[in-house]
């Protein structure tokens, strides 16, 4: 069998150094792709691209299908005539994302751009917009949901008037007319997100770089998915969850993680041939080339927590859909290129489900040290069909992680790697690239040797996450050359 060794970089687009206080899908994304190409990389991994809800987490979105309007590049809207350059403000934080400021700023301008677009009535552009709306059957429900949410001052859908919350058809028809202008604004934003992202993806693919997307297994309760399809979830007669998702105590938390997402009614989903999941994967594959499936183990069995509990300690394992779901996906979509996020409490049944479909699992080098030579994350225990990371968005940066270790732990890491304590990030990068595993993904923070304050997420914490952005001056030709040389040395350079 022929194996192709590849490597790439993990960076969410919000972390790009774009104008407007947050990364966006314009020239800075192109420059990052050029960096990847010059460094010999063939993969760009992103986090979920959806419209973020409470806490700004890409793993808690208002829709499993829509894109995040905050990623829309405003300069491109100026070029198209929907905005003018004087609309744009540069007085926003560059080092960190202030989501409150950014959301207010961009929402005002995106609405103004939408108004200009509809007022202009350009036949070619309105025709393209109409085709987009027709091609995405989820779009009207999403736009209506967001318009209703704004109309009800941000309240969760369960607090809307009962006839709207329960989606009485006559009431939905009425509010669709009343909120038509706001609905069109949200459709315009989705149109712009998708066309801008597709240009970025097309450019990356032409440069020999595939995009790895991310599908969270669960959706947010306050989402169009739960509002529009309540029968697919375990809800009570008032539409409230009866049980919620989480994980038991683990490396990240002694009390587990209480995520709070509603849990799927898998029996109903199976009855409908898992068509919601088929549509979800089809939509995701329209935006990305490969898909990392977050919390893969939940498809074999998931941690069910009573909705009244304050921690995840007292949950229980409940069987998931198993291989039936993936057979349904493959029957409809063909072989889906999936990376299984198989971290946490992994049982032989989870491994069997992963291996049955030849999904590569994940190996995190920061988890490799401290439990003896048989630790599966140690490089000498890796297998070809896996993806190696120095760390993920949930980990500290490698520099921050190493600084947090005890003296004895640091010595053990250095002894295994046969290095000194200096340059730990690149020494761990080398250990990843030399691995027998087919694929390696490196967080940009580690390539730039950044300390712990560049960390993306603290699991279990609801504030201070997802705000990191990189300084473009650090993305130098010298860094690209260093990564290219190491990538070539270990047989992973696929980019011509």
CA atoms within 13 A on the CB side of 222: 16
- Whole-number Å distance between alpha carbons of 391 and 486: 18
Closest alpha carbon to 259 in 250, 271, 270:
250
Whether the Cβ atoms of residue 18 and residue 26 lie closer than 8 Å to each other = yes
Residues paired with residue 294 on neighbouring β-strands, in sequence order: none
- Whole-number Å distance between alpha carbons of 146 and 446: 37
Max CA pair span of the chain: 70
Which of these is catalytic: 28, 82, 294, 300? Answer: 294
Which of these is catalytic: 150, 250, 323, 394? Answer: 394
Active site residue 87: no
Active site residue 122: no
Whether the Cβ atoms of residue 340 and residue 361 lie closer than 8 Å to each other = yes
Which of these is catalytic: 214, 341, 342, 396? Answer: 341
Active site residue 222: no
Closest alpha carbon to 13 in 40, 31, 38, 1:
31
SS3 content of the chain, % helix, strand, coil (to 5): 45, 15, 40
Whether the Cβ atoms of residue 28 and residue 21 lie closer than 8 Å to each other = no
Q: Helix 424-434 crosses helix 407-417 at what angle (to 10 degrees)?
A: 40
- Whole-number Å distance between alpha carbons of 248 and 13: 31
Residues marked as catalytic: 294, 341, 394
């Amino acid at each position: 069998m022929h194996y192709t060794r590849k490597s790439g970089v993990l960076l969410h687009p919000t972390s790009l150094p774009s104008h407007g206080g947050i990364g966006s899908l314009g020239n800075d994304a192109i420059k990052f792709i050029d960096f990847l190409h010059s460094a010999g990389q063939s993969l760009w991994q992103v986090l979920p691209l959806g419209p973020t809800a409470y806490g700004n987490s890409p793993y808690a979105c208002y829709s499993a299908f829509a894109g995040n309007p905050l990623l829309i590049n405003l300069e491109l809207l100026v070029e198209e005539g929907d905005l003018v350059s004087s609309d744009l403000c540069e007085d926003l934080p560059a080092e960190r994302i202030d989501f409150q400021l950014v959301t207010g700023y961009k929402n005002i301008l995106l609405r103004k751009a939408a108004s200009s677009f509809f007022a202009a009535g350009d036949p070619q552009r309105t025709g393209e917009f109409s085709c987009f709306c027709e091609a995405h059957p989820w779009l009207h429900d999403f736009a209506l949901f967001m318009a209703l949410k704004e109309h009800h001052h941000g309240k969760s859908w369960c607090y809307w008037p009962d006839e709207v919350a329960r989606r009485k058809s006559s009431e939905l028809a009425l509010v669709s007319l009343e909120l038509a202008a706001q609905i069109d604004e949200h459709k315009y934003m989705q149109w712009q997100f998708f066309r801008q992202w597709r240009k970025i993806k097309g450019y990356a693919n032409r440069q020999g770089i595939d995009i790895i997307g991310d599908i969270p297994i669960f959706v947010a309760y306050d989402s169009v998915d739960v509002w529009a399809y309540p029968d697919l979830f375990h809800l009570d007669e008032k539409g409230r969850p009866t049980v919620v998702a989480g994980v038991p105590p683990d490396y990240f938390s002694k009390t587990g993680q209480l995520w709070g997402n509603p849990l799927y009614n898998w029996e109903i989903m199976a009855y409908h041939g898992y068509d919601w999941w088929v549509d979800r994967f089809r939509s995701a594959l329209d935006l990305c080339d490969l898909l990392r499936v977050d919390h893969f183990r939940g498809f074999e069995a998931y941690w069910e927590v009573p909705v009244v509990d304050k921690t995840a300690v007292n949950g229980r394992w409940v069987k998931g859909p198993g291989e039936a779901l993936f057979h349904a996906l493959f029957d409809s979509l063909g072989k889906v290129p999936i990376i299984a996020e198989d971290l946490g409490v992994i049982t032989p049944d989870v491994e069997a489900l992963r291996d049955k479909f030849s999904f590569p699992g994940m190996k995190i080098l920061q988890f490799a040290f401290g439990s003896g030579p048989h630790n599966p994350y140690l490089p000498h225990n890796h297998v070809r069909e896996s993806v190696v990371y120095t760390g993920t968005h949930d980990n500290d940066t490698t520099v921050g992680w190493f600084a947090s270790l005890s003296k004895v732990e640091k010595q053990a890491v250095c002894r295994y790697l046969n290095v000194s304590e200096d340059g730990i990030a690149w020494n761990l990068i080398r250990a990843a690239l030399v691995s027998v595993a087919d694929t390696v993904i490196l967080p940009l923070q580690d390539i730039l040797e950044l300390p712990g304050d560049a960390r993306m997420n603290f699991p279990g914490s609801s504030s201070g996450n997802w705000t990191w952005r990189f300084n473009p001056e650090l993305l130098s030709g010298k860094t690209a050359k260093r990564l290219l040389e190491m990538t070539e040395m270990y047989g992973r350079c696929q980019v011509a």
